Amino acid sequence: MHIVYTGADWQKYWLNSLKSDKTIGLVPTMGALHEGHLDLVRKAKSETDIVVVSIFVNPTQFNNQEDYDNYPTTINEDLDKLRKENVDFVFLPKTETIYPEKPELSINFGDLENVLEGAFRPGHFNGVGIIVSKLFNIIRPHKAFFGQKDLQQTGIIKRLVKDLSMDVQLVIVPTKRENDGLAMSSRNLRLSSEERKQALILINSLEKAKQELLASKPWFEVQNHINHDFEEMPLASLEYFELIHPESFTRYSAFDAKQKSSICIAAYLGKIRLIDNLPIIP
């Protein structure tokens, strides 16, 4: 496994892959790797010849400085995990390499800025758009692999690729879950034991809502049930719980079994913010 720290380091490997007509797969991460990330790696290895995993905690996508400062870093453990997966390259840049100067460019994703993550994390998607664009420009992958847990993030990256005619294919991999159903997330490492137990309210809420919708209960009634459930959890607070179209992210006021739909949730367990989603009608 080769570790590269700059675009110039990577360039010679990229030229060699170009000459040998090998395909490149990119798995962008912020480190603190778990089985969800490794699922992406395995998918990339099955579909491309050369796999590059980037590890970079991107400051421009954090709208909360405390969240950025406390984001878990486990670089030695991460590298060990990637060696065991026989990853070809790890791109491990420093912040000053990616951002020698503060970027002046800003990216507006239109209606996606005003719902769900866009509404509650102003500037977040601009930061995501900039770092993904940088990684695509540096690594020049044929395919890039992302997890479905960050559903809205995959939506904005799809829009980025489409609107800027980027020559990369996006592969979205289903959410990897713990045995009890909690979506795997690097932020789970920051949960206390009691917060970890109560964090199951996210997946439990999604599954309960899905059952109730498919049993023809009105959406407003379903939302009220979930709000009540959160009120019973002393460490959990609900930020949003929305029924949406999984591609346009339009919010629905009622459930229609003839339309594609997913439920998205964001909640705090203590100070730790977690998100999840569940398709209702794929």
Element (H, E) at 2: strand 2-4
Residue 15: per-residue pLDDT: 86
148 is in an annotated binding site: yes
**164-193 pLDDT, tens digit each:** 999 999 999 999 999 999 999 999 999 999
142 is in an annotated binding site: no
61 is in an annotated binding site: yes
Residue 78: per-residue pLDDT: 98
* Mean of per-residue pLDDT scores for the chain: 96
37 is in an annotated binding site: yes
| C-beta of residue 1 within 8 angstroms of C-beta of residue 90 | yes
Residue 215: per-residue pLDDT: 97
What are 110's two structure tokens? 């239109």
pLDDT-based confidence at 65, cuts 50/70/90? very high
Residue 169: per-residue pLDDT: 98
CA distances from 230 to 4, 98, 146, 237, 279 (A): 45, 40, 29, 6, 21
Residues 6+ apart with CB under 8 A from 135: 26, 28, 54, 56, 91
The sheet with strand 272-281 has its strands ordered as 236-244, 261-269, 272-281
**115-130 pLDDT, tens digit each:** 999 999 999 999 999 9
pLDDT-based confidence at 200, cuts 50/70/90? very high
**80-111 pLDDT, tens digit each:** 999 999 999 999 999 999 999 999 999 999 98
pLDDT-based confidence at 8, cuts 50/70/90? very high
Catalytic center residues: 37
Give the start-end residues of each E strand in 134-282: 143-147, 169-173, 236-244, 261-269, 272-281
- pLDDT over threshold 90, residue 58: yes
Model pTM score: 0.95
Domain ranges of the chain: 2-173, 186-277
Distance separating alpha carbons of residues 241 and 265, to the nearest angstrom: 5
- pLDDT over threshold 90, residue 157: yes
Average pLDDT in the 233-252 region?
97
- pLDDT over threshold 90, residue 19: no
What are 10's two structure tokens? 């990577």
In CATH, what class is 2-173? alpha beta
pLDDT-based confidence at 249, cuts 50/70/90? very high
34 is in an annotated binding site: yes
- pLDDT over threshold 90, residue 204: yes
Average pLDDT in the 200-204 region?
98
User: Domain 186-277: what homologous superfamily?
Assistant: Pantoate-beta-alanine ligase, C-terminal domain (3.30.1300.10)
245 is in an annotated binding site: no
| 3 state DSSP class of 55 | strand
Distance separating alpha carbons of residues 194 and 217, to the nearest angstrom: 32
Residue 113: per-residue pLDDT: 87
- pLDDT over threshold 90, residue 267: yes
Give me the sign of the Cα torsion angle 95, 99, 103, 107: negative
Hey, which residues does 26 pair with through a beta bridge? 52, 144
What are 128's two structure tokens? 């995501």
pLDDT-based confidence at 248, cuts 50/70/90? very high
